[in-house]
Amino acid sequence: MTLIYKRVALIGLGLIAGSMSLAIRRGKLAEEIVGYARSQETRDIAREINLVDRVVESAEEAVKGADLVVLAVPVGAMGGVMEAIAPHLKEGAVVSDVGSVKQSVFDAVMPHMPEHAHFIGSHPMAGTEHSGPRAGFATLFDNRWCLIVPPADAEQAEVDKLAEFWRAIGADIEFMEPERHDLVCAVVSHTPHLIAYTMVGVADDLRRVTEREVIKFSAAGFRDFTRIAASDPTMWRDVFLTNKEATLEILGRFTEELFALQRAIRTGDGDTLFDYFTHTRAIRRGILEAGQDTDAPDFGRTKAAKE
């Protein structure tokens, strides 16, 4: 691999940033990786496991001299972090993020961006239900999509360089505008997470099904709902509050579909159910053909991802 950024600063040291650090080392893509996390405990663990080359005590210190700064913090915290680090960015530095919402990130970050630096949004479509500095692994992004969302006035050379960086980490690249990004993610990520949280909550409320039975028999479809619903609460709270319009639009569509299926079940309309399930089965096959999952019993999740 080729050196792409001389110094990379990671603000936040959870699953995504930790995996980025390990993937950068694997590909020898940077000379130095500097990290900062708000929690002292997280910083101590990062030092203990040698997650990055240098852990520092403030975001301002982390970004000094960095060629690439990655904001790997909850979406709701990005504006404040950007305001703090802006005076300390070097000439020509690129700031990116890994949030799953983009328009609200642009709205929060861009007012604080100095003229001598560049902001280019990115969103790796990869993750597990685990969080924290010990959760990362180098192959997290391999053959997964990273959506790159540049502002309208972005310098193309810097956009191309960031895309090269994500490809070197292992990801496939797609470019999107913020509004389109947020709608797509509401369909493929945000609303499914909300449904998973709801389904697990419903199971908890159905006292006729005991907790022992829920746990014992969750090898069925309910198991994956519980996996998704175990995701970081702070991150998902911020996602739904900052991608409100797109999520509500897709949730409304989901409710309409659910009512239609409810009616078909009530009236014994087997043809409607069969046609609907045939259509959704074809979508699942398309996901497999695109290489975004496998037919393996563990749903393609590696041992490292599950630990």
Mean pLDDT score of the chain, rounded to an integer?
86
Domain that holds residue 300: 180-306
Domain boundary among 176, 198, 216: 176
For residue 243, the domain's CATH number is 1.10.3660.10
**The tokens 């449904």 sit on which residue?**
195
What pLDDT was estimated at residue 306? 37
What pLDDT was estimated at residue 53? 97
- Under the banding of pLDDT at 50, 70 and 90, the label for residue 297 is very low
- Under the banding of pLDDT at 50, 70 and 90, the label for residue 162 is very high
Over residues 225-241, the mean pLDDT reads 76
Task: With a cut of 60, say whether residue 267 has pLDDT above it.
Answer: yes
Q: Are residues 291 and 161 in the same domain?
A: no
Q: Are residues 33 and 167 in the same domain?
A: yes
Over residues 159-163, the mean pLDDT reads 97
Per the CB < 8 A criterion, the answer to whether 97 and 78 are in contact is yes
Identify the weakest region by mean pLDDT among 79-88, 255-264, 287-296. 287-296
What pLDDT was estimated at residue 252? 86
Q: Are residues 186 and 169 in the same domain?
A: no
Q: Rounded distance, CA 264 to CA 158, Å?
A: 52
What pLDDT was estimated at residue 254? 85
Over residues 93-117, the mean pLDDT reads 95
239 assigned to some structural domain: yes
What pLDDT was estimated at residue 236? 76
Q: Are residues 106 and 190 in the same domain?
A: no
Q: Rounded distance, CA 110 to CA 104, Å?
A: 10
Domain boundary among 159, 176, 193: 176
Task: With a cut of 70, say whether residue 169 has pLDDT above it.
Answer: yes
Hey, which residues does 32 pair with through a beta bridge?
7
Domain boundary among 176, 197, 215: 176
Task: With a cut of 70, say whether residue 112 has pLDDT above it.
Answer: yes
Q: Are residues 188 and 39 in the same domain?
A: no
Identify the weakest region by mean pLDDT among 95-109, 245-259, 273-287. 273-287
**The tokens 């043809």 sit on which residue?**
271
* 120-129, 155-164, 177-186, 278-287: range with highest mean pLDDT: 155-164
- pTM of model > 0.85: no
Considering all CA atoms of the chain, what is the largest pairwise distance in Å, rounded to the nearest integer? 67
2 assigned to some structural domain: no
Identify the weakest region by mean pLDDT among 2-6, 32-36, 163-167. 2-6
89 assigned to some structural domain: yes
Contacts of 139 (CB under 8 A, 6+ apart): 23, 170, 302, 304
Task: Tell which wins on pLDDT, 122 or 209.
Answer: 122
1 assigned to some structural domain: no
Task: Tell which wins on pLDDT, 202 or 61.
Answer: 61
Taking the CA atoms of residue 130, residue 131, residue 137 and residue 142 in that order, the dihedral angle to the nearest 10 degrees is: 70
